[in-house]
Structure 1
Amino acid sequence: MYSEINFNKAHFTQSAPSIRECPPEYGVEVAFAGRSNAGKSSAINALTNNGKLARTSKTPGRTQLINFFSLSDTQRLVDLPGYGYAKVSRDMKELWQRHLSEYLQNRQSLYGLVLLMDIRHPLQEFDTTMLRWARKADMPVHILLTKADKLSRGAAASTLAQVLKEIRQAGVGQQVTAQCFSSLKRQGIDELKTVLQQWLNPVTQEEAAAVPPVAE
């Protein structure tokens, strides 16, 4: 039986430009990823009941680093760089994507991925790329269809069903779950917490502290 996580205790620990500057490989972490306008920082702030924890900006794409938030000595949330809207050079975007790929494929303490999509524009190219990476790494994914308050309840439910259908048809949905979510209306927070409780407690504390190093 695992201990209940108090997400309100989340606090920022460090930022890293690439996997080489990330914290040591111990414990277990869950990463949040999404296009720059998907509401990722707002979702993290709603989850932790702290409006200032993850930086939000009216200019999409400001989050350019991998940001770590501690929940306990062996449990972390990770805010990955947003992608798709930042007004930077092509070379810089390619560098961000390379660092993102390295983190997702090589970070041994990463257990699962929360993938955020604007419910009005789901399954963009970046989203399907992330799903393929997760499938290759045999990693579970939980999709948050954000800004669900922008649609009626019926339209939101229909979009959720269509997204699940499309990822099954694409062959990337074996370990994928999804839900509707609204940071503004605080919709879906309890459902998200239930998923994270399971993911962040997959092993005993002793086992979590002894994650094997990445093979050279």
Structure 2
Amino acid sequence: MNVNNVSLEVVCGNPSQFPDTQFNEIAFAGKSNVGKSSLINALINRKALARTSSQPGKTQTINFYNVENKLYFVDLPGYGFAKVSKNLREKWGKFIESYLTKREQLKQVVLLVDIRHEPNENDKMMYDWICHYQNNVLVVATKADKIKRSQIQKQVALIRKALQMDPNHVIIPFSAETKQGKEEIWEILDKWVLEEENEK
């Protein structure tokens, strides 16, 4: 997709604030500080429209980015960050769960994991959830520029094994710095959006 017009349209702190539109939605999920905002910024050719933070757990809202008046990119709060209170974690959990399970416009969830580390229990839970509720699954392994090029395939294999990924599911190494993987990710997102539009 050619992206020229993007705006942060809605910032939601509770389900009543979700936008009332028929746009398809692609959500980005991952643990705190995995690089969701950086990925969104790279995909929409912006430096800082999606808010990045060096402080994990900072994003506490669900943010809807209108892309070309065709779809929404949805930035979900990072999961699994220990320094917020248990009450807040539970509240976030219910908020995110209500979006993920009840939102009819949600078509796909992209799972982000850090390519340098083996996925943890929260990552595995999220992957299993996506497999249960969604037809297509894409895993993006972020921060690919932080490891040697020769290590990338080894780490991809490690992530596949740890998540017990279906062989048909795609994993793409990505770097916000070098934009490695950006084109491949857009190819898959374009296909999802076109399939949905054709089915309408």
Same fold judged by TM-score > 0.5? yes
Structure 1 unaligned segments of length 5 or more: list them: 208-216
Q: Please tell me whether residue 23 in structure 1 is matched to residue 19 in structure 2.
A: yes
Residue 181 of structure 1 deviates from its aligned partner by: 0.5
Q: 1:29-44, aligned counterparts within 5 Å?
A: 29-44=25-40
Q: 1:49-198, aligned counterparts within 5 Å?
A: 49-85=45-81, 87-167=83-163, 170=164, 173=166, 176-198=169-191
Cα deviations by residue, 1:50-88 (Å, 9 ceiling, x for unpaired): 112110111111111110011133411100011223632
Greater RCO structure (CA 8 Å; 6+ sep): 1
Equivalents in 1 of 2:118, 2:20: separation in Å? Answer: 34
SS at match of 2:171: strand
Instruction: Indicate if the aligned counterparts of 2:108 and 2:134 stay in contact, CA closer than 8 A.
Output: no
Residue 174 of structure 1 deviates from its aligned partner by: 6.5
Q: Please tell me whether residue 200 in structure 1 is matched to residue 193 in structure 2.
A: yes
Q: Which aligned segments of 4 or more residues in structure 1 are displaced greater than 4 angstroms? A: none
CA pair 103-177 structure 1, distance change in 2 beyond 3 A: same
Instruction: Indicate if the aligned counterparts of 1:19 and 1:107 stay in contact, CA closer than 8 A.
Output: no
Equivalents in 2 of 1:161, 1:113: separation in Å? Answer: 21
CA pair 89-82 structure 1, distance change in 2 beyond 3 A: same
Instruction: Indicate if the aligned counterparts of 1:25 and 1:107 stay in contact, CA closer than 8 A.
Output: no
Equivalents in 1 of 2:199, 2:44: separation in Å? Answer: 26
CA pair 58-204 structure 1, distance change in 2 beyond 3 A: closer
CA pair 100-52 structure 1, distance change in 2 beyond 3 A: same
User: Comparing 26-35 with 155-164, which one deviates more in the overlay?
Assistant: 155-164
Equivalents in 2 of 1:195, 1:204: separation in Å? Answer: 14
Letter in 2 for 1:183: A
Residue 138 of structure 1 deviates from its aligned partner by: 3.0
Structure 2 unaligned segments of length 5 or more: list them: none
Letter in 2 for 1:181: F
- C-alpha RMSD over aligned residues: 1.9
Equivalents in 2 of 1:20, 1:175: separation in Å? Answer: 36
Instruction: Indicate if the aligned counterparts of 2:142 and 2:174 stay in contact, CA closer than 8 A.
Output: yes
Residue 149 of structure 1 deviates from its aligned partner by: 1.0
In percent, how many aligned pairs have the same letter? Answer: 38
